[in-house]
Structure 1
């Protein structure tokens, strides 16, 4: 049960966004740019980074929802997403993505955990400065989103069908669909 009274029974961050649309808009815009904007990393790869960080943070709603978003956009589907969450080094992803996941994991532990060795390994595997930058920002943003959702005990459904429904909307229409139109909180 959420720690505060919400005007809806929408799960996860959606319920929190409906409570406070003024903060929902910039948070949705940030997710839209980072996870769906033009980029050399695919949308699925960026969702995989978000999933990985959310999994490390034990955020049930965010790890389940972004796993569904990543699975819908990656050829390996949910099997690949689970492999990355369980063992990113052994998962069948590119060396570049493995290096970026290593950076994301370091950010999750703390920004100062990212070392020049992490960055050099990413560069050697073909990562650009933009990909390194955005990996750090995705990881940092998802630490915030995860703590927002869990800190207010947002509703976290167990049923995979809920996440599939949300994934269909996000994959096809984007993150701005979860930002409410007007103030309610």
Structure 2
């Protein structure tokens, strides 16, 4: 049960956005840029970073959501997401993706945990400055999102299918469509 009355039974961040809709647009816009905007990292790879950080933070709602979004956009699906979550060292990701996920894990522990050696290792695997930047920002943003969701004890459905169903909409329409959907449901324009 959430720590405050959200006035909605919407799970996770969706319930928080319904409670304070003025935060929904900027936070969804940030997610849209980071996870769906122009990048040399695929949308699935960026969602994998979000899911991995959410897993490290033990945020069940955010991990389940972004794991489903990543799985829907990666050829290896949920199998790869679970392999990364369980054992990054042996997961079948590219060396560049492994280096970026290690940077994300360091950000999750604290920004100063990112080492020059990790940056050099990522660059040695052809990670660009933009990919490194976006990895750090995705990891930092998801630490914030995870703490927002868990700090107010939002609802996290147990049924994996509820997340998979939501993934279809995110993959097809993005995060700003989620904001528009919420506005329409609330009778706003």
The residue that corresponds to 1:142 in the other structure is 142
Structure 1 position 183, deviation (Å)? 9.5
Question: Which has the higher relative contact order, 1 or 2, with Cα contacts under 8 A spaced 6 or more apart?
Answer: 1
* TM-score, L = length of structure 1: 0.97
The residue that corresponds to 1:15 in the other structure is 15
The residue that corresponds to 1:132 in the other structure is 132
Q: Which piece of structure 1 moves more, 16-25 or 66-75? A: 16-25
- Residues 1:66 and 2:66 are matched in the alignment: yes
Superposed counterparts of 1:68-83, under 5 Å? 68-83=68-83
Q: Give me the whole-angstrom Cα distance separating, in 2, the residues matched to 1:148 and 1:111.
A: 18
Gaps in structure 1 of 5+ consecutive residues: none
Q: Give me the whole-angstrom Cα distance separating, in 2, the residues matched to 1:178 and 1:17.
A: 10
- After superposition, give the CA deviation of every residue in 1:45-69 in whole Å (9 maximum; x if it has no partner): 0000000000000000000010000
- Superposition RMSD in Å: 1.3
**Count, aligned residues:** 184
Paired residues of 1:2 and 1:155 also in contact (CA < 8 A): yes
Structure 1 position 177, deviation (Å)? 2.7
Evaluate the alpha carbon distance shift between residue 77 and residue 2 of structure 1 in structure 2; reply closer, same or farther with a 3 A threshold. Answer: same
* TM-score, L = length of structure 2: 0.95
- Residues 1:171 and 2:176 are matched in the alignment: no
Gaps in structure 2 of 5+ consecutive residues: none
